[in-house]
Amino acid sequence: MGPVTALLASFSLLFTGGIAQTPVHAAGSLRPPINHRWIPYGHKRKSEMAAYARRHYGTRSNVLHPRVLVEHWTQSTTASPVFDEFRSDTPDIELHELPGLCSHFIVDTNGRIYQLVPLGVMCRHTVGLNDRAIGVENVGMSDSGVMNNTAQRTATVRLARFLRCRFKIQVRDIIGHSESLRSRFHHERVRSLRGQTHDDMQRATMNRFRAMVARTSCG
């Protein structure tokens, strides 16, 4: 270390309280390649989403305030039926509500990431969290199918790192769908749905996933 470098290091330690600082990565530098494949989300669907939010969360708004990232898998081997379902805006077969189901992103088996909906609006993907959660659908039939696919796993972890940094989401708030009831942000006004969840992306899987995301720091 030369004298100039040493002097700069001394000033750095002075202004950081003598604590070595971990390099901080800007969210933009973490952004993976994202392909836009927008689904229809016009006035009708926005109105339906606002009405849904009023019934379930007590606020008549379709605006998303991201605090949580929810990982799912699609229970399909290709992305096509997922795109078709999300585009349709028809009542879902489980709860029979509008708007139709959707998530903000799909990560295909080849690692290609598609964004379907702007991040400023809600999507229906996780009961109790739709007003606070970004949804990511991984094409696949199981946790292991997603996590053992190197291209897909790498892409969905990169996407999670980017979204975490962009919206200042805590690592503990990156969850699997199966963990929805454990989320500190979960809230649901409809009594019959307060215990409703799914079994995709189990806690053990997500512990591994969260450890991967946390390897990259952000501000």
Q: What is the pLDDT of residues 155-208, one digit of tens each?
A: 999 999 999 999 999 999 999 999 999 999 999 999 999 999 999 999 999 999
Question: What's the pLDDT score for residue 10?
Answer: 36
Number of domains observed in the structure of the chain:
1
Whose CA is closest to 163, among 107, 86, 108, 95? 107
Q: What is the mean pLDDT of residues 122-150?
A: 98
In this structure, is residue 14 part of a structural domain? no
Can you give the pTM of this predicted structure? Answer: 0.87
Question: What's the pLDDT score for residue 218?
Answer: 84
In whole angstroms, what is the distance from residue 54 CA to residue 131 CA? Answer: 10
What domain range includes position 130? 24-214
* Distance, CA of 163 to chain centre: 7
Q: In this prediction, what percent of the chain has a pLDDT beyond 70?
A: 88
Question: What's the pLDDT score for residue 27?
Answer: 76
In whole angstroms, what is the distance from residue 142 CA to residue 121 CA? Answer: 28
In this structure, is residue 107 part of a structural domain? yes
Q: What is the mean pLDDT of residues 4-29?
A: 40
Q: What is the mean pLDDT of residues 74-87?
A: 98
Both tokens of 139, joined, read 């094409």
Question: What's the pLDDT score for residue 6?
Answer: 39
Question: What's the pLDDT score for residue 37?
Answer: 97
H helix runs in 19-149, sequence order: 27-30, 43-57, 80-88, 143-147
Question: What's the pLDDT score for residue 25?
Answer: 47
Q: What is the mean pLDDT of residues 109-130?
A: 98
In this structure, is residue 12 part of a structural domain? no
What letter would DSSP give residue 129? T
The CATH number covering residue 28 comes to: 3.40.80.10
In this structure, is residue 79 part of a structural domain? yes
Q: In Å, how far are 11, 18, 74, 87 from 4, measured between CA atoms?
A: 11, 18, 56, 60
Per-residue confidence band for 16, with pLDDT thresholds at 50, 70 and 90 = very low
Say whether pLDDT at 15 is over 90. no
For residue range 25-73, what is the model confidence (pLDDT) as tens digits? 457 789 999 999 999 999 999 999 999 999 999 999 999 999 999 999 9
In this structure, is residue 8 part of a structural domain? no
Question: What's the pLDDT score for residue 18?
Answer: 33
Q: Kindly tell me the burial class for residue 187, based on how many C-beta atoms sit within 10 Å of its own C-beta (0-12, 13-18, 19 or more).
A: middle
In this structure, is residue 6 part of a structural domain? no
Higher-confidence position of 24 and 145 = 145
